[in-house]
Amino acid sequence: MAIWVQEDSKLLIQGITGSQGRFHGEKMVEYGTNLVGGVTPGKGGQNIELAGNEFPVFNTMMEAINQTDADASVIYVPPPFAAAAIMEAADAFHQIKGEGVIVCITEGIPTLDMVKAVAYVNEKEGIRLIGPNCPGIITPGDNGGCKIGIMPGHIHAKGRIGIVSKSGTLTYEAVAQTMSIGEGQSTCIGIGGDPVNGTGFIDCLSAFEADPQTVAVVMIGEIGGTAEEDASEWAAENMSKPIVGFVAGSTAPPGKRMGHAGAIISGGKGTATEKFAAFEAAGIHIARDPSEIGAVLKVALEESGLL
Amino acid sequence: MNIHEYQGKELFRSAGVKVQEGVHCKSVEDALAAYDSLGSKVVAVKSQIHAGGRGKGNLYCPNSGDLLMEGGVKIAFSRDEVETYSENILGHILVTKQTGPAGKLVSNIYVEAGCEIAHEYYLALLVDREEKQVLIMASTEGGMDIEEVAEETPEAIHKTWVNPSTGLLDSQKEDLGISLDLSGAALEDFVGMIGSLYELFVSNDCSMVEINPLVRTKSDEIVALDAKVGFDENASFRHKEWEDLRDYSEEEPTETRANEAGLSYVKLDGDIGCLVNGAGLAMATMDVIKLYGGEPANFLDIGGGADEAKVQEAFEIILEDPNVKGILVNIFGGIQRCDIVAKAVLAASEKMGLQVPLVIRLSGTMFEEGRAIIDSSDLDCTSVETLAEGAEAIVGLIGGGK
In tens, the pLDDT along A86-137 reads 999 999 999 999 999 999 999 999 999 999 999 999 999 999 999 999 999 9
Chain B residues whose CB is inside 8 A of the A78 CB are none
Chain-chain contact of B164 with A109 (C-beta, under 8 angstroms): no
CA distances from A123 to A127, A138, A167, B60 (A): 9, 26, 27, 55
pLDDT at residue A208, as a whole number: 98
Chain-chain contact of A227 with B130 (C-beta, under 8 angstroms): yes
Tens of pLDDT along B346-369?
999 998 889 999 999 999 888 999
Give the phi and the psi of residue B282 in degrees, each rounded to 5.
Answer: -65, -40
pLDDT at residue B30, as a whole number: 97
Residue B6 falls in the annotated catalytic set: no
**Is it the case that residue B262 has pLDDT exceeding 60?**
yes
**Is it the case that residue B224 has pLDDT exceeding 90?**
yes
Residue A156 falls in the annotated catalytic set: no
pLDDT grade, residue B57 (50/70/90)? very high
Nearest to A110 among B235, B282, B388 (CB): B235
Tens of pLDDT along A284-307?
999 999 999 999 999 999 999 999
A184 touches chain B (CB under 8 A): no
Q: How many whole angstroms separate alpha carbon A129 and alpha carbon A87?
A: 10
Chain-chain contact of B299 with A193 (C-beta, under 8 angstroms): no
pLDDT at residue B207, as a whole number: 95
B156 touches chain A (CB under 8 A): no
Tens of pLDDT along B378-397?
999 999 999 999 999 999 99
- Among chain B residues, the shortest Cα distance to A197 is held by B132
**Residue B353 C-alpha, separation from nearest chain A C-alpha, in angstroms:** 28
Chain A residues whose CB is inside 8 A of the B266 CB are 253, 256-258
How confident is the model over B113-130, as a mean pLDDT? 95
Chain-chain contact of B163 with A118 (C-beta, under 8 angstroms): no
Chain B residues whose CB is inside 8 A of the A170 CB are 278, 280-281, 284
**Is it the case that residue A11 has pLDDT exceeding 80?**
yes
- Helix %, strand %, coil % for chain A, to 5? 35, 25, 40
Tens of pLDDT along A196-210?
999 999 999 999 999
Which site among A91, A116, A171, A251 would you substitute to test the B interface, given the most B Cβ atoms closer than 10 Å to its Cβ? A251
Residues 88-117, chain B, touching A (beta carbon < 8 A): 98
How confident is the model over B36-43, as a mean pLDDT? 93
pLDDT grade, residue B69 (50/70/90)? very high
Distance of CA B110 to the CA centre of its chain: 20
CA atoms within 13 A on the CB side of A101: 22
Please check whether residue A243 is in contact with residue A221, taking contact to mean a CB–CB distance below 8 angstroms: no
Chain-chain contact of B268 with A260 (C-beta, under 8 angstroms): no
Please check whether residue A276 is in contact with residue A285, taking contact to mean a CB–CB distance below 8 angstroms: no
- Among chain A residues, the shortest Cα distance to B330 is held by A169
Residues 6+ apart with CB under 8 A from B37: B23
pTM: 0.93
Nearest to B287 among A108, A251, A268 (CB): A251
